[in-house]
Structure 1
Amino acid sequence: MRLPIVLVALSITCSGPAFSENKPKRIEEVLVTANKRSQSISSIAGAVSAIDKAMLEETGAADLSEYLTLSAGVNFSSSTPGLSVVTIRGVSSDTFPGQAQTAVGIYYDDIPLTDPAAPMVVPDIDSFDADRVEILRGPQGALYGSASMGGAVNYIPIAPNPEEVDFAAQLIATDRTNSSVSYSRKVMLNVPLISDKLALRAVAHETETQGYIDNIGTGEEQANDVTTRGGRIALSWDINPGMMLKLHGLQQTIAVEDSGYVDERLDDLKKETTQPEPTDTELSVAGIRYEHSLDEHGDVVFVGSYQEKSSFLSVDGATALGIQDTGLGIILEQGGTVEGYSAEVRYISPPDDTFEYLLGLSYANRDEDFYVILDSAELAEISESIVALANQLGITLPSTLTAATTLFRQSVLIDAPEEAAFFEGSWQFVDNLRLVAGGRYYNNRIDSEVVGQGLLFLTDGSTEFYEQRSNSAEGFNPKVSLSWEPTDDILAYSLYSRGYRLGGPNLVPNNAIFNTKSNYEPDEVKNYEVGVKSFWFDDRLSIDIAAFYIDWRDMQLVTADDKGTFKYLDNAGDAEIKGVELSLVLAPLDFLNTRSTITWLDARLAEDYDPQNGRPPAQAGDRLPGSPEWSLSNTINLNWYSHKWQPSLTLVHRYEGESPSNLSFQDIKKGDYHLLDLRASLTFEKFSISFFGKNLEDKRGVTASNNYAGTTGTILSHKYITPPRSYGVQLDYKFAP
């Protein structure tokens, strides 16, 4: 690894304390709710990051790829917007969204947004008007349930303020290499409806990002335009002292005109497909939160939600089906919907220096409909493509193909109820020694119907396929930590925690044509961790370090059938992950602060895995996808907030080391790139202006890769890259009495 330019090393508000807005003289702590109760980060026996509003504005980080990568232990495999992969502590089996439940839970104000199987949408919530983003590193199965094996991310918006009117507006213009000018418009309004009682807060945003990749097959330049629209609204009512009711909602759509990968066989920023490959995703969430203080007897909190998600993806089917060598055009469509609700109620004991505890119940039920379609009705002009594919699969076709002939139409209907009871107790049994123990009893079930139709199901003369399947899991996820505070400024801890992910049905049937597996089983991780959090030099320096070992059992792995044509999920055995995370914050002068993170990972298969389908086996010792040996982030901020115009200058550096993109394609890598961003700002009372540059060295870092094996043994890799160098200007207006 090439160590970065000496940018002072080190840390980020994440994982340690944070700088409060407009008060740079000392490192001040951030309160978080990572353990379902309000605590300072430095008092938690575990690795928690908090990227607060001040830091989001200081760095200009607007989306997941920008703000999550400022935290230790986090890697982001950016592909199609709304369908990317978040990896924490190397718990990843692919860098491209697959059929499995994600390994990192995504939450919006404590509402789980994770799907039971294939991620329909990976929420990428704009940071405008965010209070903070909490990142919990390491398995969170005890308090957060399934899909949090690597960790969890909780996006916390600013709550409505019943005391005063507040308004903010933002306009951003960005010019990027090989692109046109992009625009982003955002606005927030906070209105007290009843003074000190009832308030409404609303946010709306729209970002039009012009493309920078030319599709020479369709003749479209700058083809990968992306339009993101969305909003949030919250109504908060302080009913009585100690009683609060909040109703809130989130809505966001992302439309991609053409998938933004490059073909390395072509010139810079080029791809070639016969048709555009658009993607549309939509997320809608309605939530309710009720908090009731029982005075000296504690608090009761209820969080409920209803959500809908949908996605549509069209891809170059010849490549996806492994017959790109024929040069024929086939369109493959996939997508679906998720509809569901969740409810959680918890009792939080009153704060106590000796003993405090948390009890909770949760229930969720989500219905998912996932489909893949390939119809000859859409292929009437290219019947030779159907013949080529049939020959590849060894299928004898009918003598006549008509426009009504179905080639492939497959769907999986999933019903996934999940119920759990959890608890956590904290006991200071000796001065400066605290034991925290808890766990989660869970009972999950996935009932599914797999429905298929078409010539590709042709076995024993039948073109129909129907099968009912069921997967269930029941168990207990413990969490135990022991912490020691020798002084008010030092906390040392040890931690054991576990996490799990649901099993489920494979989309592709298991028959003579496909040779796959009907179901894949749950997997789980066990985490062993030690760490130290500390403040030094009158709170001018904070140092956090954590070392961990993760034992991953029955890992879910994306593989392919014996012809390399259709992908499915299998359990690949075990993996081991060792790592160290270091975070530092340094404020040596009133006008200077620096933050850095360094992560070292050794994430590898613990045993060989042979899918027995003709693909090369993965070997024990192979590095896990999306888990580079080294990752770093560095931020330097110079600010003169006491000056009339409050000038500030911020430099951000990120580095991601090299890692494989997929276990089946170890030689195709992602990462091994540095990114440099620079931002300068001035404030004139209610107005501010910022000038910025991103990816100043114009790097083409590979952020994700989707790989295919062709009929002649050739490998084609669709590589997603860091957006080219861009420059822009941002105008902000803020009104508050």
Structure 2
Amino acid sequence: MGRRTDLLIVTALATATATPALAADRQDISIAPGRLGDAVIALGRQTGASIGMSDQSLAGIRTPEIRGRMTTQDALRRMLKGSDAKAQRVGDNGWRILRTARAPSPATAPAPITAAPAPDQPPAEIIVTASKRDTPLPRYAGMVETLGSGAFTTGEAAGGTATLLSRVASLSSTHAGAGRNKLFIRAIADSGVAGPTQATTGQYLGDMRLNYAAPDPDLKLYDVGRVEVLEGPQGTLYGAGSLGGIIRVMPNAPNLAEFGGQMSAGLSATQHGDPGGDLSATLNLPIVSEKLALRVVGYGMQDGGYIDDVNRGKDDVNRTRTYGGRAALRFVPDENWTIDLTGVYQHIDGDDAQYASRSVGRLERASAVAQPYYSDYLLGNLRIERQWDTLRFVSSTGYVRNILTESYDATQPGGAPALFRQRNKVDIFSTENRLVRDLDNGLGWILGASYLQSTSNLNRSLTSFGTVAPMQPEILPGVPLYGLGRAAPATGVRNMVKEATLFGEASFEPIRGLIGTIGGRLTNSRLSGEALDPVAALSSSVDLARAEAQADRSETIFLPSASLLTDAIADITLYARFQQGFRPGGLAVDDQRVRRFQNDRASTFEIGARKGVPGRDMFAASANVAYTDWRNIQADVTDRIGLPTTANIGDGRIYTVEGRIVLRPIPALTLDGSVIYNDSRLTQPTDFVRALSYDGRSLSLPNVANLGGRLAFDYRATLGNAMRFTLSGSARYVGKSRLGVGPILGQTQGDYVDTSLSAALTRGPVQYSLSITNLLDSNGNRFSLGTPFDLRTDYYTPLRPRTVRIGVDFAF
């Protein structure tokens, strides 16, 4: 009786919420990956079809994402492809789902909520949702990489941004430590040191911006359904800070119909270092069936240290601990409205810096003091969506608070141990409201308005330990040395940016197979800044007033975009695209004085080609050639004292060539290869950059490798009717790059290969996994910056040594 009751409920829900439509009509359908029971309810709502099931256990079949314009029959065919079920027509607009093979045993019916689709069930058509217009991949003009549902194991989720770096060849990063790194896409990078300038890569959780004038928060990727990396600029849709592109992370939404969850645990052992571990749990709780549901994610982890400090006699000092969570509440009052309330919190504690010194020894350094750091991140977001057939309204409003506290060894030769600290507190309020019309096959338009306010408070101090001798060498001009652990304030800075924006974009098809897209973004930025704790000896009131007056200004910028795309040749897309991006100016501290830096702008023209869909077709390939003209480049550099500051370093240009090939020789195996080449130059350096350089030194732009590439494989097989086995591996080459501009920051980094291998065995709700990172135990240099108070020592940031992790996941 219970089984029949459940079946009738599923059928009734699919029917009661339906609106009349003909079965043969093509309609816009958007269904997230999940269970068949939820998918048929959503399909019934969107198409008006009546859909029933012959057996309630069919509701647990995993289904892929279904997006696009199609008939109900086509949608059902995609849902059930590779499963042991089929759809049978009942009347003009009714369907009944029947089982075609023997039912699996109860132990194999449920699957972990983050498990990948079965190997014989290819993914549905890829939709570029980060375009904000749900554009099918074959009709998106640009380079994009998507990591879909089931792409991350729990071990990879614990890696956060590091996992994305290992998957996307065009993505690079500094490596100062989790929560304090700068991300770069393609070759749009300013420098490796951390100053008050805005990021070149925009990061988003759903529709909510994660950062502005702050590093990557490195949110962990637990319970994430999809990640999209769009190469930039993306100024039309995303505005300031998207010169290089954007990274959009889309977590799994609350399931309105089914209670469930997952728990995971892992233990890791690092060669030459301490052990580590990770725990996570996900719970999905329907509160009011089909109306209100809560989804909660919590996690904690420890990455064991592997750097020894011989001066202080301590081993494995660079241990890092992270804990955090995410909660999402979804309310669906009817089939047209969806309201999501999301909260995120994450805290990262780093016991010490991540760098070593080659002159001391492998994985060793000699510091006078510990250099701890922490990152504290909080986000809240309200998203409201209203649907009218092909018209959709989206409103997203939220708040971010990000506090990053860092410390650097400032000890001078012959002086007492000293520590320099800086605390960057960033508050972001943003709201965006847009109206979107998604027409057939990538056509349509978007019109929106947004407002953003970002406030950054950068405070600095200098602490000397021990007794200060009369002849103690000066560390920061004008900053006293009190000794005995007493902190003295150093000059800091506050920057505030208020941006009001109107944007729009439209795609049209003047002739069959040729799509044109035009767009623009009009932004008014109001900028203000002031000094914090200015050093009286070096910063007169007149100087401060002049700098702050220059920073208090208003700028209006228009960013155009245009593209042409043709798919007239079967299964091949050709496109050309032009787009711009910018970053507003602000104030920075230079030699303890406050100075202004101006906005910069990047213009990119690119041409590309694409064939097939990765992971779905037997052969898929993409290639792209781009030229970027970057004017008045903002860069985080070091001042005369050696502290991070921001300045305009001149004009530059970048040539980029990249390509990717994905082969699927058999349904269970995917082979993936990608390569990227960058040629970047500072063509018109400013006077102070010329003063830092000398004849014959190449003025290449910093922190982006000239050559990079990745090879990977993924194998997924079913072992009988009870188990699934996956095996994947990758090797990524990171070419040579420079830390910054000028001979002082001219250290070479990169030129290493990073490797990984992982395997998983899934039986019913339980999955066992084994992974190895840095298989070759490479000692490659990821980042050349140690402490900015000593830029001439041979500091390097090594890859984490070979690490083995074993894990278990349990779904319920």
Q: Give the TM-score normalised by structure 1.
A: 0.88
Q: Could you tell me how far apart the structure 1 residues matched to 2:325 and 2:597 are?
A: 37
The question of 1:368 aligning with 2:456 is answered: yes
1:317-716 matched pairs, under 5 angstroms: 317-318=410-411, 324-326=412-414, 328-352=416-440, 356-374=444-462, 378-379=464-465, 381-384=467-470, 387-389=472-474, 407-454=488-535, 457=538, 467=548, 469-508=551-590, 518-535=595-612, 539-561=617-639, 563-611=640-688, 615-616=692-693, 621-641=698-718, 643=720, 644-665=722-743, 667-706=746-785, 715-716=792-793
What residue in structure 2 maps to residue 280 of structure 1?
A: 374
Aligned-partner SS, 2:662: strand
Aligned-partner SS, 1:381: coil
Aligned-partner SS, 1:388: coil
Displacement, 1:95? 2.2
Q: Could you tell me how far apart the structure 1 residues matched to 2:202 and 2:613 are?
A: 33
1:89-100 matched pairs, under 5 angstroms: 89-100=186-197
Q: Could you tell me how far apart the structure 2 residues matched to 1:415 and 1:488 are?
A: 50
Kept in 2, the 8 Å contact 1:100–1:569? The answer is: yes
What residue in structure 1 maps to residue 304 of structure 2?
A: 210
Aligned-partner SS, 1:625: coil
Q: 1:158 aligns with which of 244, 252, 268?
A: 252
Q: After the TM superposition, which of the residue ranges 523-532 and 43-52 deviates more from structure 2?
A: 43-52
What residue in structure 2 maps to residue 79 of structure 1?
A: 176
Q: Could you tell me how far apart the structure 1 residues matched to 2:681 and 2:542 are?
A: 44
**CA distance change for structure 1 residues 453 and 478 in 2, over 3 Å: closer, same or farther?**
closer
Aligned-partner SS, 1:697: coil
Q: Could you tell me how far apart the structure 1 residues matched to 2:696 and 2:651 are?
A: 11
**Matched residue type, 1:294:** W
Kept in 1, the 8 Å contact 2:127–2:134? The answer is: yes
- The CA deviation string for residues 387-413 of structure 1, in whole angstroms up to 9 with x for no partner, is 4116x85x7x99x97989985422222
Q: After the TM superposition, which of the residue ranges 23-32 and 264-273 deviates more from structure 2?
A: 23-32
**CA distance change for structure 1 residues 90 and 463 in 2, over 3 Å: closer, same or farther?**
closer
Q: Could you tell me how far apart the structure 2 residues matched to 1:206 and 1:338 are?
A: 24
Displacement, 1:652? 1.2
**CA distance change for structure 1 residues 135 and 402 in 2, over 3 Å: closer, same or farther?**
closer
Q: Could you tell me how far apart the structure 2 residues matched to 1:461 and 1:518 are?
A: 13
Displacement, 1:219? 2.2
Q: Could you tell me how far apart the structure 2 residues matched to 1:709 and 1:170 are?
A: 40
What residue in structure 1 maps to residue 133 of structure 2?
A: 37
Displacement, 1:72? 3.5
Kept in 2, the 8 Å contact 1:405–1:454? The answer is: no
- The CA deviation string for residues 455-489 of structure 1, in whole angstroms up to 9 with x for no partner, is 76387999999955324431101110000112441
The question of 1:726 aligning with 2:803 is answered: yes
Aligned-partner SS, 1:161: coil
Kept in 1, the 8 Å contact 2:465–2:485? The answer is: no
The question of 1:303 aligning with 2:396 is answered: yes
Kept in 2, the 8 Å contact 1:604–1:620? The answer is: no
Q: Could you tell me how far apart the structure 1 residues matched to 2:659 and 2:443 are?
A: 30
Kept in 1, the 8 Å contact 2:135–2:442? The answer is: no
**Matched residue type, 2:422:** Q
Displacement, 1:340? 2.7
Q: Could you tell me how far apart the structure 1 residues matched to 2:741 and 2:731 are?
A: 29
Q: Could you tell me how far apart the structure 1 residues matched to 2:543 and 2:509 are?
A: 67
Q: Could you tell me how far apart the structure 1 residues matched to 2:292 and 2:347 are?
A: 29
**CA distance change for structure 1 residues 461 and 575 in 2, over 3 Å: closer, same or farther?**
closer
Give aligned-pair identity as a percent: 24
**CA distance change for structure 1 residues 308 and 608 in 2, over 3 Å: closer, same or farther?**
closer
**Matched residue type, 2:776:** E
Kept in 2, the 8 Å contact 1:607–1:619? The answer is: no
Q: Could you tell me how far apart the structure 1 residues matched to 2:708 and 2:749 are?
A: 13
- The CA deviation string for residues 601-628 of structure 1, in whole angstroms up to 9 with x for no partner, is 1112113444179633597852222221
What residue in structure 2 maps to residue 8 of structure 1?
A: none
1:125-140 matched pairs, under 5 angstroms: 125-140=219-234
What residue in structure 1 maps to residue 118 of structure 2?
A: 22
Higher CA-based Rg: 2
Q: Could you tell me how far apart the structure 1 residues matched to 2:542 and 2:289 are?
A: 73
Kept in 1, the 8 Å contact 2:461–2:487? The answer is: no
What residue in structure 1 maps to residue 46 of structure 2?
A: none
Q: Could you tell me how far apart the structure 1 residues matched to 2:543 and 2:563 are?
A: 57
Kept in 1, the 8 Å contact 2:699–2:742? The answer is: no
**CA distance change for structure 1 residues 357 and 23 in 2, over 3 Å: closer, same or farther?**
same
Displacement, 1:588? 0.2
What residue in structure 1 maps to residue 408 of structure 2?
A: 315
**CA distance change for structure 1 residues 659 and 338 in 2, over 3 Å: closer, same or farther?**
same
Aligned-partner SS, 1:699: coil
Aligned-partner SS, 1:641: strand
Kept in 1, the 8 Å contact 2:133–2:445? The answer is: no
Displacement, 1:453? 4.1
**CA distance change for structure 1 residues 654 and 242 in 2, over 3 Å: closer, same or farther?**
same
Q: Could you tell me how far apart the structure 1 residues matched to 2:322 and 2:161 are?
A: 14
Kept in 2, the 8 Å contact 1:650–1:680? The answer is: yes
Kept in 1, the 8 Å contact 2:631–2:652? The answer is: yes
Q: Could you tell me how far apart the structure 1 residues matched to 2:758 and 2:638 are?
A: 45
Q: What is the total number of aligned residue pairs between the two structures?
A: 694
Q: After the TM superposition, which of the residue ranges 605-614 and 496-505 deviates more from structure 2?
A: 605-614
**CA distance change for structure 1 residues 309 and 138 in 2, over 3 Å: closer, same or farther?**
same
Aligned-partner SS, 2:759: strand
**CA distance change for structure 1 residues 384 and 37 in 2, over 3 Å: closer, same or farther?**
farther
Kept in 2, the 8 Å contact 1:184–1:208? The answer is: yes
What residue in structure 2 maps to residue 10 of structure 1?
A: none
**Matched residue type, 1:88:** I
Q: Could you tell me how far apart the structure 2 residues matched to 1:638 and 1:560 are?
A: 47
**Matched residue type, 1:250:** V
Q: Could you tell me how far apart the structure 2 residues matched to 1:307 and 1:677 are?
A: 34
Q: Give the TM-score normalised by structure 2.
A: 0.80
Kept in 2, the 8 Å contact 1:452–1:465? The answer is: no
**CA distance change for structure 1 residues 126 and 402 in 2, over 3 Å: closer, same or farther?**
closer
Q: Could you tell me how far apart the structure 2 residues matched to 1:431 and 1:235 are?
A: 43
Displacement, 1:159? 0.5
Kept in 1, the 8 Å contact 2:200–2:245? The answer is: yes
Kept in 1, the 8 Å contact 2:508–2:517? The answer is: yes
Aligned-partner SS, 2:150: helix
Kept in 1, the 8 Å contact 2:136–2:441? The answer is: no
Q: After the TM superposition, which of the residue ranges 236-245 and 400-409 deviates more from structure 2?
A: 400-409
**Matched residue type, 1:726:** T
**Matched residue type, 2:491:** Q
Kept in 2, the 8 Å contact 1:426–1:436? The answer is: yes
What residue in structure 2 maps to residue 11 of structure 1?
A: none
Q: Could you tell me how far apart the structure 2 residues matched to 1:617 and 1:473 are?
A: 35
Kept in 1, the 8 Å contact 2:579–2:603? The answer is: yes
